Amino acid sequence: MITFGIIKERKSPPDRRVVFSPQALAMAKKQFPNARFKVESSDIRVFSDQEYRDAGFEVTQDISDCDVLLGVKEVPKDALLANKKYFFFSHTIKKQPYNRELLLTILEKNIELFDHEVITDQQGMRLIGFGRYAGIVGAYNAMRTWGLKFGDFTLPKANELEDQSALINTLSQITLPAIKIVLTGKGKVGNGAKEMLDAMQLCEVSVHEFLNESFDEPVYVQLDVEDYVKTNDDQPIADKSHFYKNPEEYKNDFLRFTEVSDLFIAGHFYGEGAPVFYSKEDIASNSFKIKVVADISCDIDGPIATTIRSSTIADPVFGFDPQSGKEIDFKDPNAIAVMAVDNLPCELPKDASEGFGQMFLDHVLPAFFEADADGILERARMTQQGKLTKRYSYLKEYVDEAKAS
């Protein structure tokens, strides 16, 4: 028998998401009779303690008898229980300086850490994440930002609405002018955003139509790397994975879109060394037409020069002055309005938790009862017996620096 504990989120600002909704937990219990589940009481979670009790689960302040603890965000050092197995997003795999001490504490407390971000299949494809929900909220926020900037309509914040269908209902009541929307990325985020544009019944057009034709209704185009990048000798991309591995052999082909688009929804992944989408100089040129940017990818001071900082759910929109390259009021007639919230799935905690639980149930829980036949736990295990595992040994120096300080 393995006992799993659903932990309370303790990070600030409060995150209302959870690994398992009461319904998903009930499914897990049915599917795995050898698993026991306990829920740590929480007053911020999107599902109440009572909803878990009603689904037949023990809700408690004491989860110290659990073997495996399941959370979403980083667990504060003091709250980490020694000698346990933990699953959460530790944000350490890229040596993030702000979590160096967290990883050191995990090692000192002899915790086995499994990071959601590195739950992958044998090909290295991520199996678990909130990307789709970032896309859904990001597209909604893109429309909301347009309304705020131009006053065509007023939309409530996404986190004031119940779920994705409420977002869709709200969007179905607005009338967008005949603008051109460019959406980048065809992965989880890009396709989450596309779900919303399709739900709004916006017309999707080809790259050729988007660049060359005018329309009397709003239209959008969804791009992947072959559309916004070309080889250094002006040839189209032949093999995407070659670009991912050798980005320096490619150059930007996105400016042709900046000359005709009104709204840019960025939902691609940006690999280090890849060409930028546009620079501050590009924005200052007269041919740059984009007026609103919803940057879901949200790489700061990176490939999208309007993203000079991230923004927050509380204050999601800022203005970018094309001439000075500095921040100004987004309502200034010259300003490009930028939405760059970096924790978008938190605005849709119910749907995001339900989707996440399903992925966890499908991909991770079985591994505990099948002796990790596929190696999923092994690939995601970052620490064991007070040491980094082999796959994560590249983090040794990063942790050692925490010891030294």
Ligand X SMILES: NC(=O)c1ccc[n+]([C@@H]2O[C@H](COP(=O)([O-])OP(=O)(O)OC[C@H]3O[C@@H](n4cnc5c(N)ncnc54)[C@H](O)[C@@H]3O)[C@@H](O)[C@H]2O)c1
List residues forming the annotated binding site: 224
CB of 3 to ligand X, least distance (A): 31
Residue with structure tokens 């150059």?
251
112/227 with CB nearer ligand X: 227
CB 25 within 8 A of CB 51: no
Please pick, from the candidates 114, 130, 220, 278, the single residue that binds ligand X as defined by CB under 6 A. 130
Number of residues that bind ligand X (CB under 6 A): 25
85 part of the active site: no
| 205 CA to centre of own chain | 26
Rounded to 10 deg, the angle between the 164-171 and 188-199 helix axes is 50
Q: Which residues contact 384 (CB under 8 A, 6 or more apart)?
A: 112
Please pick, from the candidates 182, 189, 294, 399, the single residue that binds ligand X as defined by CB under 6 A. 189
Q: Of 11, 91, 95, 280, which residue is the catalytic one? A: 91
At 299, list the tokens.
């790489």
Q: Which residues contact 24 (CB under 8 A, 6 or more apart)?
A: 354, 357, 358, 360, 361
Q: Is 343 in the site for ligand X (CB under 6 A)?
A: yes
CB of 223 to ligand X, least distance (A): 8
78-85: long-range pairs with CB below 8 Å, 24+? 79/10, 80/105, 80/106, 80/109, 80/111, 81/109, 81/111, 82/109, 82/110, 82/111, 83/109, 83/110, 83/111, 84/111, 84/112, 85/111, 85/112, 85/114
Residue with structure tokens 């390259």?
325
- C-beta atoms surrounding 6 within 10 Å: 26
Q: Is 344 in the site for ligand X (CB under 6 A)?
A: yes
CB of 134 to ligand X, least distance (A): 3
Residue nearest to ligand X (CB): 187
**Residues 285-304: x/- map of binding to ligand X (CB under 6 A)?**
-----------xxx------
Region near ligand X per CB under 6 A, out of 61-69, 323-331, 339-347, 366-374: 339-347
Please pick, from the candidates 10, 29, 109, 186, the single residue that binds ligand X as defined by CB under 6 A. 186
For 149, 231, 253, 271, 367, the CA distances from 274, given in Å and listed in that order, are: 31, 11, 12, 6, 36
| 259 CA to centre of own chain | 28
Residue with structure tokens 């994560």?
392
Q: Give the separation between CA 18 and CA 200, rounded to whole angstroms.
A: 29
**Residues 240-259: x/- map of binding to ligand X (CB under 6 A)?**
x---x---------------
Pairing of strands 387-388, 383-384: antiparallel
Q: Is 227 in the site for ligand X (CB under 6 A)?
A: no
Please pick, from the candidates 100, 188, 194, 381, the single residue that binds ligand X as defined by CB under 6 A. 188
CB of 380 to ligand X, least distance (A): 17
Binding-site residue numbers for NAD(+) are: 224
**Residues 133-152: x/- map of binding to ligand X (CB under 6 A)?**
-x------------------
3-state secondary structure (DSSP) of residue 7: coil
178/300 with CB nearer ligand X: 300
CB 130 within 8 A of CB 103: no
Region near ligand X per CB under 6 A, out of 157-165, 188-196, 384-392, 396-404: 188-196
Please pick, from the candidates 14, 97, 236, 271, the single residue that binds ligand X as defined by CB under 6 A. 271
Please pick, from the candidates 73, 268, 379, 381, the single residue that binds ligand X as defined by CB under 6 A. 268
363 part of the active site: no
Region near ligand X per CB under 6 A, out of 9-17, 21-29, 154-162, 183-191: 183-191
The residues assigned a catalytic role are 73, 91
Would you tell me which residues interact with ligand X (CB under 6 A)? 129-131, 134, 185-190, 224-225, 240, 244, 267-269, 271, 296-298, 342-345
